[in-house]
Amino acid sequence: MSRRYATIWFRHLTTDWFAMQQPALKEIPFVLASPERGRMVVRAANMLAESNGVETGMVVADARAVFPDLQVLDDDPELSAKLLATLAEWSIRYTPIAGIDSPNGIILDISGCAHLWGGEKAYLKDIVIKLKTSGYDVRAAIADTIGAAWAVSRYGQISPIIGPGEQADALLTLPPAALRLEAGVIERLHKLGLYQIRNFIVMPRTVLRRRFGQALLDRLDQALGPSNETITPVQPLEPYQERLPCLEPIVTAAGIKIALQRLLEKLCQRLSGEEKGLRAATFKGYRMDGKVEQIDIVTNGPSCHATHLFKLFELKITRIEPALGIELFVLEANQVEDIDPVQETLWKVCRADDTSLLELLDRLAGRAGMSSIHRYLPDEHYWPERSVRQAASLKEQSETNWRTDRLRPVHLLARPEIIYVSAPIPDYPPMLFRYKGKVHKVSKADGPERIEREWWLDEGLHRDYYCLEDESGARYWVFRLGYYDGNKPEWFIHGFFA
């Protein structure tokens, strides 16, 4: 597929923006000026000021001599770059590759995009109308090369759309400045009477190089096609991305869900063919008012199951505010991993090729957040607080086995909590205990199990643990700290059994 490019020229970029911020300026000739060598110099002039003879680069005093009622505003030297970056990001709704063409334009790689709008004519018309409606004075063109599109958008007088392979004919009647040449080269061309590109385009390249330098040949090649130019996108292009433009703006949740389903089906089909699955994805909606709505998901393992991924997004669809309507949907896989054709068992409990567990975890994370889900592995310590550690991932395997010779609670408190106990004699289990203001009468008990502190890590007393069951059937893991020395010992609760 041949490349196609569109260039958009903002003829009065900064002054148009000032007029949009202050509508009263639309009817007033004004310029933006900044100091230079002790003088105020015009940096930009609006259309009314230009029609009265004021030009960029003039000294403000000379401009006022030409037009006494001229209004002068302070120029912001960084405004142009900021506006172009914003406009390039806005234009991503038309193509994933949009770059800045300083000081007053943007460049779009529209290869394979225009047919979604019904052809290049409708595509370009839609862009220009929306920009003009916003308040910008723009000219735009489409061609096989960036150089040809740039030339036609600035100097073309006939059609803004140059057909495939027709860039040479489109350039013939244009001035040398249309090739983006330096002022010195243009001046030398004019001195020799070469006022149009047709006057020198057929000259021998050796002659052109000798008289005007290699820069002229490079610009000709960029406009005609032998030399390709690259665009630096304002947003990095995601390798796994699907786009869905809408013929009519979407304003309902049902319409958003349909768009999401279609994009997920296309993306998952592609990922499945490459034996990959996504770990993180972003769903974006480009609104009519220029704002972008987006929701994100992450998964516990690589997945290309469209139905499951849709359920994760569905939990967050209510966060999308369509306002006047969404005209473009984009689905991006921000993080992708390989899916092994044959996977190992997961946690030695269920097989990883049965993705039901991972999908359950994803749904729980979608509701409660990824930070609420943890996986733990046994660690080589007897001291309860150190006997488990948090796993770095679902696939991490432990080097030691879970201890099965002693009963351990399902829920272990990170820090033991003090309780108040009544016990008949020191080494007997409690008859009752008070925890968080509630009294629990013990009906069954087992213990004690003495666990010594790991002296090579820290110092302190040992613990005597008991498994208790109260009258309601709830089971607890409690301990007495240290030996009974005649004083009232301290008791703590450390865990709960299922």
| Residue 426 confidence (pLDDT) | 64
| Residue 368 confidence (pLDDT) | 67
- 433 versus 381: the higher-pLDDT residue is 433
Q: How confident is the model at residue 414 (pLDDT cuts 50, 70, 90)?
A: confident
Q: Name the percent of the chain lying above pLDDT 70.
A: 91
Whether the link from the prior residue into 103 is cis, omega within 30° of 0, is yes
| Top CATH class, 241-366 | alpha beta
Whether the pLDDT of residue 354 is over 60: the answer is no
Q: How far is CA 166 from the centre of its chain?
A: 38
Alpha helices in 46-119 (DSSP H): 47-51, 60-66, 79-90
**Which of these ranges, 161-165, 321-325, 378-382, 419-423, has the smallest mean pLDDT?**
378-382
Whether the pLDDT of residue 175 is over 70: the answer is yes
Whether the link from the prior residue into 68 is cis, omega within 30° of 0, is no
Q: How confident is the model at residue 348 (pLDDT cuts 50, 70, 90)?
A: very low
Whether the pLDDT of residue 405 is over 90: the answer is no
CATH topology of domain 1-237: Alpha-Beta Plaits (3.30.70)
Whether the pLDDT of residue 231 is over 50: the answer is yes
Whether the pLDDT of residue 358 is over 70: the answer is no
Helix axes 253-273, 306-314, angle to 10 degrees: 140
Q: Where are the domains of the chain?
A: 1-237, 241-366, 411-496
Q: How confident is the model at residue 400 (pLDDT cuts 50, 70, 90)?
A: confident
What are 127-152's pLDDT values in tens digits? 999 999 999 999 999 999 999 999 99
Q: Name the percent of the chain lying above pLDDT 90.
A: 59
| Residue 383 confidence (pLDDT) | 85
Q: Look at residues 261, 274, 271 and name the one whose alpha carbon lies nearest to residue 241.
A: 271
What are 247-262's pLDDT values in tens digits? 888 999 999 999 999 9
What are 28-60's pLDDT values in tens digits? 999 999 999 889 999 999 999 999 999 999 999
